[in-house]
Amino acid sequence: MKQVKAKKHLGQHFLRDMNIAKKIVDSLSVSDNTNVVEIGPGMGVLTQFVINKNVNNFKLIELDGESVVYLKEHYPQLTESIIEGDFLKLDLSKVFDSKYSIIGNFPYNISSQIFFKVLEEKDKVDEVVCMIQKEVAERICEKPGSKTYGILSVLLQAYYDIEYLFTVGEKVFDPPPKVKSAVIRLKRNSVIKLECDHKLFFRVVKTGFNQRRKTLRNSLKPVLNGKILEDEIMNKRPEQLSYNQFIDLTNKIEKLLAE
């Protein structure tokens, strides 16, 4: 059977190593009632191992028509489960009415956007196991104080316990990507609501990191509406703050704005 021809603009790098594929799928916690969505199944290298797990409801979202044809021929039992479309545009509430987990070797060009979508759906997404570019994986797992700590590190760490699982070299892919890859796991923590206004928190984090080399006193001006927050923390730079410190800061800003 003809293989799918890799298309660069879709971030297609097909994993060829079955041991790694199995290891990725084994990293996902599943039980009989777990719903799973796979992003970008391609030719199904992870899919075959998910099938063996007998999960409750399994959906696959693939943008590439050629891959969809391939999958339907190879896994006829999944015909009804494959959704041809763009994960970023999909209304996930129409796919699952209860919680679900996400697995995938993500298209690296849109991995950040996938995580922002996960954050929008955080009350539904229990767990994510994914392979992404190694640098992005490191950034997401990074603790405060490092140069690569950024928006996604803070936002994701506020809602998920994150583990860096393992690094994957270029050679196990066809075609090989230019970068190293890594597999990470995100498990939803017990925080239902942050102890601050969620929208303002997002805004403070994003605005702070927009000019990451400046102190928060300077970078957060657009959020403060001309007011001045007299606080030590404003002399720091965004990468120095843990998500808990961002929560404190958000509360102080909310109070100030209400005065």
Q: Which residues bind ligand SAH (CB under 6 A)?
A: 10-15, 39-42, 45-46, 61-64, 67, 86-88, 105, 107, 110
Neighbours of 189 (CB within 10 A): 13
Output DSSP code: residue 3: P
CB of 227 to ligand SAH, least distance (A): 41
Residue 145 vs 176, nearer CB to ligand SAH: 176
CB of 10 to ligand SAH, least distance (A): 4
CB of 47 to ligand SAH, least distance (A): 8
CB of 144 to ligand SAH, least distance (A): 31
Residue 60 vs 141, nearer CB to ligand SAH: 60
Residue 161 vs 174, nearer CB to ligand SAH: 174
CB of 33 to ligand SAH, least distance (A): 24
Residue 110 vs 204, nearer CB to ligand SAH: 110
Output the residue with the shortest Cβ distance to ligand SAH: 40
**Phi, psi at residue 15, to the nearest 5°?**
-75, 130
CB of 98 to ligand SAH, least distance (A): 22
Kindly write down the DSSP assignment for every residue of the chain, as one continuous string.
-PPPPP-GGGT--EE--HHHHHHHHHTS---TT-EEEEE--TTTTTHHHHHHT--SEEEEEE--HHHHHHHHHH-GGGGGGEEES-GGG--GGGT-SS-EEEEEE--GGGHHHHHHHHHHTTTTEEEEEEEEEHHHHHHHHPPTTSTT--HHHHHHHHHEEEEEEEEE-GGGEESPPSS-EEEEEEEE-S-SS-SS-HHHHHHHHHHHHHTTTS-HHHHTHHHHTT-----GGGGS-GGG--HHHHHHHHHHHHHHHH-
Q: Are 141 and 165 in contact, with CB atoms under 8 Å apart?
A: no
CB of 106 to ligand SAH, least distance (A): 7
**Phi, psi at residue 154, to the nearest 5°?**
-65, -50
Residue 66 vs 197, nearer CB to ligand SAH: 66
Amino acid, single-letter form, for residue 117: K
Residue 45 vs 78, nearer CB to ligand SAH: 45
Residue 10 vs 179, nearer CB to ligand SAH: 10
